[in-house]
A and B are shown apart, each in its own frame.
Chain A
Amino acid sequence: MAASTPTSDNSPNIPEYEYGNANSTTFHIDSLRKEWLSRLKPSDYSHRADDEDAFHANFAHEMGVSVDMMRALKEVCSTEALRCHPEDQQPDPEVVPEDPTLKTLVERKKRQDYKSSLKISKNRHDLYADEQERLAFTMKPEAVENRVPEGDVILTINVYYPATFEKFCYVRPHVTLLLLGSQSLTELRDAICCISDLQVCGEFSDTPDVAPDFVSKDHYKSAYFFFEGVFYNDMRYPECCDISQTTITWVKANNFPSYSQAKMEDTKLVDLKVKVGFPYLYCHQGDCEHIVIITDVRLTHKDDCLDRKFYPLLTHKHRVSTQKCAVCYTFIARWCTTGDQFAPSHPCLFCDKCFRMLHYDADGNKLGDFLAYPYVDSGAFN
């Protein structure tokens, strides 16, 4: 699909590809939804399955064909005509068939043979992803008020992990969320799990027993989304401040086109004017920045999960391996020490038990010289 100059009679709400085909042009989501609904019949996007005989009868009536002709048509165009093997000899669909003629199959066979020669059959990403995928589909609610209405839009949003790991340069680790158009940005914000929200600040080598009961999430509640030149700030709590203000004042001072602000809790996703496939920004904790890309916008379908309670729905998540204790390599690390005379490396990770055994005596006195910080592992959300 080459990028073409939009013709003059195209309404601005019909998105085209932008130059480079990596993303679409800007469009207003609700207008897109209305455009689609105006062009479709309600039966096209309804969630109910209709009666097939009624459909055939209507078709025959509309085309003015006889019953025999209709029967012949049904027979010719049925799935039976596409059956490649006789009914009782269906080969196993999980296995590549013998003597494949299609190029895709030849290549697939080669890959399968190669994979079976490797020792590791599945990696950790696949193990959980299969499970997640199964949960995402065909959930029907019991109560009618929880049902997703027909004609609503579903957005698929990728939220990428902050680019602070050197390891993740060539792979783009992300979380994929499905959201309804009628949901607001705050619901998106609440669904994003970032470990920087759970960080506890402070040095606790002298008082390891004081369980830190506050996390960064409770301290620093401000956050914003940045879409198409507008900062959407979270102002739900009295502690929230407008952290986008510094950027806006800088922009004004430096001759950039100015940006505007809005409230996150007042903006529904359908009110946004965005590009599909274009990276935007989510910033929280003052400096933890995530790239947000809206990968897909479409009308709801009968095979989607139709229960409102489940949205925002997580469909894909990159698993990060957990860091374990350096001593026992069994438990997940809870403490991180620096300048530690007992530790082989700087910094070094310990689980709770090993930490206390190594650094404190039986009475709980601190032995030696070190600094200890509570550590939240990046794989905490696995």
Chain B
Amino acid sequence: MNWSRQRNEHVRSDCEELLARFQQTDSVRFENFSRIWREMKFGQIFYGTAGREKRAFSRLVLDVAFVYFLPPFSFQIRVGGLYLIYGLYRCQTASPRVGIRVALKDWEDVLGFQKDALGARHLDAVFVLRQLRFQRAFHFTATPRALTFERRAKEARSQLGNKFVARASGPQELLDRDAMEELSNVHELYGRLKSSVYSPAQRERLGVDLTRENLPARLRGHVVGFHGWQKRERQEASDGDEGVSEGTSARAESSRRARLLSSIKSKAYGQAAEACKSRRHRQVEVDAGDSSGPAPPKGRSTSRRVSLKARTHENVRIAGEMWKEATTPTSINRLTAVDRGPEAKKEGRS
């Protein structure tokens, strides 16, 4: 089980490596993607599998890669994800080809992506997607993966994945240009309507504002401020490593706080308290294990008990022949053996 989880991790990290390089090119052109693909010799990921393993591995790698094609990743990463599954689908060694599973709940996202790409005239992305549909690469399923009621340990989301996520743009989406125009029109009408109730003389005597002053302008100011704050956060977080535009993403406030908390906790428990002066010769040893690494390999907190066989082997030592006899199980089969001559006489019942 451990081996398959490790394999998942390796496949995922290879895909993320490819997508990270693609992200750095700051473009969505297929040429750039194929250049990186050739550099990394990514097509070789299928080499070395044999027989049934080909299909199983193709299934695994397509399932892993498909995740990057769906939200919440940013548009550039989604384009990279699309190119990635296209490349994997075409380069796989299994025959007939293993299809790409699309669940019903994700189909809307796929169509939404196509619409966005069309709108932005990214012809290569649209062409690749249409080609996949034409080649009947998709399997239309109920769930993204085949489920067998296995409880998996929570798969750690790698740090890199966070950089791929599209930044939250709720306020910007809510107040786009059309909405702002309409808002300012309505605001004007409202203001006029309210003030028409009173005569100008009465209005001066009123000490209150009938409507909020400059509501649209202030809203816009807030949104711009939010955007600037997001940008600053991202710059801080990435330490100036990132390029600009859609590639970068904002880390969510909550995850930052969580990480802060976990780092505080690890400092508190990981480091043993310094012994007092009188016992300084007996300093407590601290295990310099990886406490908050990016992907904790063992999800289980309780350690695995060594099996009974291993413990017996460890603890019980019996000399020579008796040990051999003790370990080999008594076999009630093979009570007779084909008589091969004098050697057979030496073979007794085991």
Contact = CB atoms under 8 A, between A and B. Distances in A.
Contact of A27 (B3, B45, B142, B148): B142
Interface string A319-338: 00000111111000000000
B48 A79 contact: no
Given A36-B104, A93-B47, A303-B97, A158 B140 contact: no
Contact of B55 (A107, A133, A329): A133
A103 B149 contact: no
A52 B13 CA distance: 35
B350 interface: no
B52 interface: yes
A301 B139 contact: yes
B140 A108 contact: no
A81 B34 contact: yes
Interface in A127-157: 129-130, 133, 137-138, 156
Interface stretch (B181-189, B190-198, B313-321, B333-341): B333-341
Interface residues of A, number: 87
Contact of B105 (A15, A49, A126): A15
Contact of A130 (B14, B51, B138): B51
A274 B71 CA distance: 27
Interface stretch (B88-96, B201-209, B230-238): B88-96
Interface in B103-125: 103-105, 107, 123-124
B168 interface: no
A205 to B, nearest CB: 20
A295 B146 contact: yes
Contacts of B123: 63, 65, 69, 73
Given A16-B105, A82-B90, A126-B52, A22 B151 contact: yes
Contact of B48 (A96, A130, A295, A302): A96
A92 B49 CA distance: 11
Interface in B279-310: none
Contacts of A297: 141-143
A40 interface: yes
A40 to B, nearest CB: 7
Contact of A17 (B139, B140, B143): B143
B147 interface: yes
B140 A298 contact: yes
A59 B143 contact: no
Contacts of A369: none
A299 B147 contact: no
Interface stretch (B19-27, B127-135, B215-223, B254-262): B127-135
Contacts of B130: 55, 59
Contacts of A59: 127, 130
B139 A20 contact: no
Nearest to B29: A76
Nearest to A278: B149
Contact of B99 (A24, A35, A65, A303): A303
A103 B136 contact: no
Interface string A51-64: 01001000100010
B213 interface: no
A382 B241 CA distance: 60
B99 A102 contact: no
Given A1-B67, A130-B51, A63 B14 contact: no
Contacts of B14: 102-104
Given A59-B130, A107-B10, A298-B101, A101 B41 contact: yes
A32 B104 contact: yes
B11 A22 contact: no
B275 interface: no
A24 B147 contact: yes
A76 B124 contact: yes
A102 B302 CA distance: 32
Contacts of B48: 93-97, 105, 108-109, 112
Interface in B1-57: 3, 6-7, 10-11, 13-14, 30-31, 34, 37-38, 40-52, 55
Contact of A39 (B90, B107, B148, B334): B107
A36 B139 CA distance: 11
A55 B146 contact: no
Contacts of B333: 324-326, 329
A44 interface: yes
Kindly name the residue among B49, B50, B147 whose own CB sees the greatest number of chain A CB atoms within 10 A.
B147
Interface string A79-92: 10111100000011
A296 interface: yes
B52 A76 contact: no
A325 B334 CA distance: 8
Contacts of A172: 148
A42 to B, nearest CB: 12
A296 B3 CA distance: 24
Contacts of A129: 52
Given A45-B140, A303-B99, A97 B6 contact: no
Nearest to B41: A84
Interface string A208-239: 00000000000000000000000000000000
Given A55-B134, A297-B141, A137 B31 contact: no
Contacts of B105: 10, 14-16
Nearest to B55: A133
Nearest to A27: B142
Contacts of A137: 96
B173 interface: no
Interface string A325-362: 11111000000000000001100100000000000000
B332 interface: yes
B152 interface: yes
Nearest to A158: B148
Interface in A10-40: 10, 14-17, 20-24, 27, 32, 35-36, 39-40
A77 interface: yes
A296 B51 contact: no
18 contacts: A14-B105, A22-B151, A23-B147, A40-B140, A43-B133, A63-B126, A82-B87, A83-B38, A100-B44, A102-B42, A105-B48, A108-B48, A129-B52, A158-B148, A277-B148, A277-B149, A296-B143, A326-B332
- Shortest Cβ-Cβ A-B pairs, 3 listed: A277-B147, A96-B48, A298-B141
